[in-house]
Each structure stands twice: as C-alpha cells, then as structure tokens.
Structure 1
Amino acid sequence: MRLGLNLRYLGRLAAAPPPEESLAYVQEAERLGYCVVWSAEVFSSDAVSVLAWLAARTERIELGTAAMQIPARTPAMTAMTAASLDLLSGGRFRLGLGVSGPQVSEGWHGVRFERPLVRTREYIAIVRQVLAEQKVVHDGTYYPLPLPGGEGKPLRLGMHPRRKDLPVYLAAVGPANTRLAGEIADGWLSVFFQPEASSDQLTQAQAGRKAQGLTLEGFDVVAAVPVVIGDDTGACADRVRLFTAHYLGGMGSKLHNFYTRQAARTGHADAAQEVQRLYLDGRIRAAAAAVPRRFLEQTCLLGPVSQVADRLRAYQEAGVTTLSAMVFPRDTEDGIRTLRLLADALAKSGAGD
C-alpha cells in the first residue's frame, strides 16, 4: 500500500488551507515518498487549475483529479485536458472522474441527473477513444458524436498524447457504480472506506473486473481518509466532525445523498439520518456533534502513531492499494508533522510497498 495526499478543494466548505500552505504539504509529501496528490472539485475551485499549478512546482509526485465532474465538461474536453496535463507534467497525470450528484449536476451545471451509469460508460468510452488518437465516433444516448443531421465530422485529437493508456479512475460510492469502476476504469476512488465493511464494495469492483476477464491485480483501490494524529483520540475525532457532517448532511439532496446511504449500508442508518436532518435544518454544529465517534474511528485515521499503524494494516489487508490522506491541520507546521507521522506509521505497520 502506498500513501497519497488528498487536498480536497479550495473554499470555505472544505476548510482547506490556502494555496501556499497546500503547496508546502505537497512538496513535503513528495520528499517523503508519497506517490500522488489528488485535487477535487464541487462548486468551489476546479481540480485542473490546482494540479497545473502544482505540476510546475513538483518533480516526481503524480497528480490526480479526485474527481473531475462529468456533468461539467464534454468527454472530448476532458480528454484534451488530460492529455495536456499529462504532457506538461512529464507523464504524471491520473484522470479521476465522477458523476457528482443531483444537487450539483442540476443546480450548478444544469445537467439532468439521470441514468448516471449509462452516462458514465459513454463518457469514459469517448475519453479513451480520444486518448487513443482514434477518430471519435460514438452512437450513444447522451454523447452522440458527430451530432446526427449536422455538419460535424469525426475528428481526431490534434496532438500526440504522452500516454495513450493514461490511467482513468472512477469515483464511486454505491454498489452499481463501484462495479462499473471495476469494469471500465483502472482504479476506484473511494471515500469513507471502512475496512471492516469493505468486502461488499470490493466484491462489486471484482465483479466488474471479472466481466472484462480481469482480476483486481493492477487495479488501484484508492481510499481518501481523514487523518489526525495525536495522543487524545477523542480530540482528534472532533477535528473531522464538521467535514464528515458536511458529507452525510449536505452533499446531495434530501432524497439523494450517496454518503448517507453508504453510512446506512455499514450499520449507521439512524445516526446518518439524524445528521442529515440536523444539517438540512441549518443546525450544522449539532449535526457535527451527532456524527458517531465509532463511525469516525472506522472511516478515519485518528489517535497515536501506534493506533494509526494498526489501522493502516487493516486498510492494506482490506485491499486498499493507495491511501490518500486528508489532513486537518491547525497550522502549516501541524500539517507537515501529520504527513511525517503518517509516513512513520506506515513504516511501522509493515503495510507499505
């Protein structure tokens, strides 16, 4: 298992550090041997600009989107962006994609959130055609190319991509989408991964791989995990409560919140519903306080180094191949200390490559 760093996105909802502080974390992660840094997007900063900025300030660490929103861009534009970033970074780019949810897709991008699995399958098929330097022809429901009855013609990417097999990842929460990740992607971007409850999810990914005559060998299972290291596990847990409540309560509509459903599937249905109710009522602090400590300890790395090392072994044994840390520092020094202690914990755990 390798370590990565997940910066989330810039903005008040992510409680993310300012850009120069994030850069300090990325450069320290690179020095420590972390393999990849991921940048996200919702309706704040975009994932691509952040990575382009980081590409110019790093040398070895790989750069991934976790994830670029499918409703925000055409598949051809995404493939052009991926090819450009991969070329400019010297072959360090990883393309992570996600369908988002109805609140963002319909409220921000003006794209109906319907048949997301079909849309995702079509989207990635076109991205791969573009990167393979093929003339793009796609007879799909959502992305028919060229448009029927118009003046368009099949086009080919007007540059030579550095890698035609650039790795494509799919952000997936529900069972069907996780199966799709195994079938059509090179890796799965997960969040709130629970080692004790991971077998169903990995079974879905494995089924998707099997449909293509493949195994999980070489398939990158990426877990984005909040990390707070300290002597008092309860105090560490408190630092990730607002972040967790935001996902369980506010990342989606009342009817469609994939994170609330995931928590329910892993034994936290009542608590997740209560967190969502409080959050949607505007009682954010109460929602954060209602997040069960057990859920936080199952989905985060919290407490002393020895305890974190034990949990790292659990993640590795559950099938995670890249553990991407999300840090919640008090200041820059605390964030850098967290990255160093996590690297120490991985060395102590014996779970590293």
Structure 2
Amino acid sequence: MRLGLNLGYWGTTGTDDLESMVTLSREADRQGYAVAWLAEAYGSDIPSLAGYLAAHTPQMGWGSAIMQIPARTPAMTAMTAATLDRITGGKFHLGLGVSGPQVSEGWHGVRFNDPLGRTREYVEIIRAAFARKNVEHEGKHFQLPLPDGPGKALRLLLLPERPNVPIYLASIGPKNLQLTGEIADGWLGIFVSPEYVGEQLAAILAGRQKAGHDDLAGFDVAASVSVSVDDDLDVAADRLRANAALYIGGMGSRDKNFYNKLAVRMGFEQEAGTVQDLYLQRQHREAAAAVPRDFIDQTSLIGPRDRIAQRLHRYAEAGVTTINVAPVGDTLEDRLATLVLMREVLDGEGLAD
C-alpha cells in the first residue's frame, strides 16, 4: 500500500486555518506520502487550494476528493485538471463525484437526475480533451458543440503533463461502483471497512470486466480512513463520532442519504436509523453518541500503535492499495505525530508499496 493525506475541506483540519493545512502537507511530503487530497462542498474550492498547497510540497502529488460534477462543465474540469497536472509536475489525481441532491440542486442549480449517465458522459468528454481531440459529444446531458449555434469543436490548448491524468470516482452505491470499475482508474472510498469492502470491490470488478479487464491490477483502491491514536479505545472513537453522525444522519435528506444507506448495507440498519432521526431533529450530540463504536472501529484506525498495525494488515489483505489518512487528534502536534506514526507502521509492517 501507499499513503495519502486526506485534508478534507478548509476548516476541518481542527484549527480552522490555512497554515495548519500547509504544516500537515509539508510533514506528509517529508514522510514520503504519495498524494494529498482536498474536498469541496459549498465552501472552499479544491483547485485554488491545490495550486497554493502544491507550492509547499515538492515531492507529493495532489488530488481532488472530490471536484463536484454539477459545479463545472466537463470542459472546465479538463482545463483545471490539465493546469494542476502541469503545476504539480504530472502528479495530479482527478477525483470526481456527483455530490447529492441538496447540494446539486440547492447550491449549483443542477437537477440531480440520472447521475450515472451524467458521470459517464462527463468522463468521456474529459478524456477526449486530455487526448487533445476536437471535443465533440452528443449525449443526453451534454452536447458539444451546441447544434443550433455558432460553436465549433475545440481542442484543449494546454496539455496536461501526462497524456492520461488518472480519474477517480467517489462512488457508494452498487451501480455507481460498477461504473467506477468500468470508466475510472481508481475508487475513492469513504467509510471503508475491511469486513465489507469485498462486496464493493466485486461490483468494481464487474465494471472492470465489462471494460475488458480481467482483474483489478492497475486500479487504485483508495480508502479514506480516519486515524485516532490513543490507548483508550473509547477516547479514540469519541473523536470520530461527530463526523460519522454528520454523514450518516445529516449528509442528505431522509430519503436521499447515500452514507446512511451504506451503513444499512454494512449491517447497521437500526443504528443508522436512530442516528438519522436524532440528527434531523437537531440533536447532534445525541446522534454522535448513538453511532456504534463497532461502525467506527470497522471504518477507521483507532487505538494504540500495535492495534492500528493489525488493522492496517486487514486493509491490505482486503485489497486496499492506498490508505488516505485523515489524522484526528486534540492538537495539531497530535495530527502531525499521527502522520509520522502511519509512515513508521507501514514501513515496519512491510506493507509499503
């Protein structure tokens, strides 16, 4: 496996300032992390931060986890990815996702209909742009050029450093996982459990086979994993409860919360319902307390060093190829120490790629 750093959104690293993101990025770069990932919702955007932070990390790659499909035209995304690939010296990873109905329709004004079809067309247009073809596309969601105007098929003027910038999809449902295997180079997984990921990888493999690949060789299974180090498991788990409750309970409406449905498929149906009920009633502390420790334990690395090392082996055995570390601690120094610990554990356990 290789290590990545999951920085999330600007404002969620624990100190709510840009300098802490720089400090974490520099430490990950010194520790030989392969890539750092940034997120966006309806606050900070990824490209601005990636361009700024990349200037502080001469070795490490950068990735979007994720750039929202409804936020940009596919041509704009191709331009942005090509620019960031040049800025990073050929080390940009383009992660894409459809977001959810509340953000897509409420913030971007884009209908959340046929997300799989929209994603397929979006990726096709981006790949055509990367290949420096005259971009022409006639689909359900995108038509380039428009058929009833003066537009002409154009080529991307600035080529990326590499002819094929790797494209990742952040997918959760079975059909989206299959599409990921079919059209993408990697998967950005959230709440990945070694005990459950086999089912998800089976869907991805089905997509790979549809595209003519026999296995997952060359496909990056990138799992975002929160790491909370403490000898007391309850203390370690408690640091992660609020974030888990936000996703399971509040990241979407009652009927359209993909993370809640994932928890249900993982066997936490009753608990996921309770967390959602409490969260939607604005009882956020109670919702966090209702998140089962077993769910946190399955989808995170918690506890002392030796226990984290044991669980890291389970991720490797399950087929994860990149561990994107989201370091959680009470101080910035704690999070920096976690980055160092993960490097030492990966090397010491013989798991480093």
TM (norm. structure 2) is 0.98
Bigger mean CA deviation after superposition, 159-168 or 132-141: 159-168
1:212 matched residue in structure 2 = 211
> Per the alignment, in what secondary structure is the counterpart of residue 343 of structure 1?
helix
Q: Deviations over 1:226-254 (max 9, x none)?
A: 11111111100000100111100111111
Give the deviation of 1:104 after TM superposition. 0.6
Measured in 1, the distance between the counterparts of 2:53 and 2:66 equals: 16
Give matches, 1:127-138, under 5 Å.
Answer: 127-138=126-137
Measured in 2, the distance between the counterparts of 1:207 and 1:339 equals: 34
Say if 1:66 and 1:171, in contact at 8 Å, map to a contact too.
Answer: yes
1:152 matched residue in structure 2 = 151
2:345 matched residue in structure 1 = 345
The alignment status of 1:284 with 2:284, answered yes or no, reads: yes
Say if 1:224 and 1:326, in contact at 8 Å, map to a contact too.
Answer: yes
Code of the residue aligned with 1:267 in structure 2: it is G
> Per the alignment, in what secondary structure is the counterpart of residue 143 of structure 2?
coil
Measured in 1, the distance between the counterparts of 2:158 and 2:345 equals: 43
Measured in 2, the distance between the counterparts of 1:7 and 1:16 equals: 12
Q: Deviations over 1:131-167 (max 9, x none)?
A: 1100010010111111121111111112232212111
Say if 2:39 and 2:66, in contact at 8 Å, map to a contact too.
Answer: yes
The alignment status of 1:326 with 2:321, answered yes or no, reads: no
Measured in 1, the distance between the counterparts of 2:57 and 2:285 equals: 38
Code of the residue aligned with 2:294 in structure 1: it is R
Say if 1:310 and 1:349, in contact at 8 Å, map to a contact too.
Answer: no
Measured in 2, the distance between the counterparts of 1:346 and 1:88 equals: 29
Give matches, 1:256-335, under 5 Å.
Answer: 256-335=256-335
> Per the alignment, in what secondary structure is the counterpart of residue 135 of structure 2?
coil
Measured in 1, the distance between the counterparts of 2:207 and 2:325 equals: 26
1:255 matched residue in structure 2 = 255
Q: Deviations over 1:281-333 (max 9, x none)?
A: 10000000000000000001000000000110000110000000111222221
Code of the residue aligned with 1:347 in structure 2: it is D
1:120 matched residue in structure 2 = 119
Q: Deviations over 1:207-243 (max 9, x none)?
A: 1111111120000000001111111111000001001
Measured in 2, the distance between the counterparts of 1:337 and 1:15 equals: 14
2:56 matched residue in structure 1 = 57
Give the deviation of 1:16 after TM superposition. 6.2
Give matches, 1:73-84, under 5 Å.
Answer: 73-84=72-83
Say if 1:309 and 1:348, in contact at 8 Å, map to a contact too.
Answer: no
Q: Deviations over 1:105-127 (max 9, x none)?
A: 01111111010000000000000
> Per the alignment, in what secondary structure is the counterpart of residue 137 of structure 2?
coil
1:91 matched residue in structure 2 = 90
1:71 matched residue in structure 2 = 70
Q: Deviations over 1:38-67 (max 9, x none)?
A: 000111111111111111111010100000
Measured in 2, the distance between the counterparts of 1:161 and 1:206 equals: 28
Give the deviation of 1:350 after TM superposition. 2.6
Code of the residue aligned with 2:257 in structure 1: it is N
Measured in 1, the distance between the counterparts of 2:92 and 2:150 equals: 34
Measured in 2, the distance between the counterparts of 1:250 and 1:280 equals: 6
Code of the residue aligned with 1:128 in structure 2: it is R
Give the deviation of 1:100 after TM superposition. 0.5
1:38 matched residue in structure 2 = 37
2:227 matched residue in structure 1 = 227
Query: Which structure 1 segments of 5+ residues have no match?
Result: none
The alignment status of 1:23 with 2:22, answered yes or no, reads: yes
State percent identity of aligned pairs.
Answer: 52
Measured in 1, the distance between the counterparts of 2:67 and 2:15 equals: 18
Measured in 2, the distance between the counterparts of 1:345 and 1:319 equals: 18
Measured in 2, the distance between the counterparts of 1:147 and 1:87 equals: 30
Q: Deviations over 1:57-78 (max 9, x none)?
A: 1101010000000000000000
Q: CA-atom RMSD, angstroms?
A: 1.1
Change (3 A) 1:24 1:11: closer
Measured in 1, the distance between the counterparts of 2:232 and 2:283 equals: 26
Code of the residue aligned with 1:56 in structure 2: it is A
Code of the residue aligned with 1:130 in structure 2: it is A
Change (3 A) 1:313 1:267: same
Change (3 A) 1:34 1:155: same
Say if 2:14 and 2:332, in contact at 8 Å, map to a contact too.
Answer: no
Say if 1:135 and 1:155, in contact at 8 Å, map to a contact too.
Answer: yes
Bigger mean CA deviation after superposition, 17-26 or 104-113: 17-26
Measured in 2, the distance between the counterparts of 1:314 and 1:169 equals: 23
Give the deviation of 1:15 after TM superposition. 5.0
2:176 matched residue in structure 1 = 177
Measured in 1, the distance between the counterparts of 2:10 and 2:240 equals: 17
Measured in 1, the distance between the counterparts of 2:210 and 2:15 equals: 39
Number of equivalences: 352
Code of the residue aligned with 2:50 in structure 1: it is L
Say if 1:131 and 1:161, in contact at 8 Å, map to a contact too.
Answer: yes
Measured in 1, the distance between the counterparts of 2:196 and 2:87 equals: 40
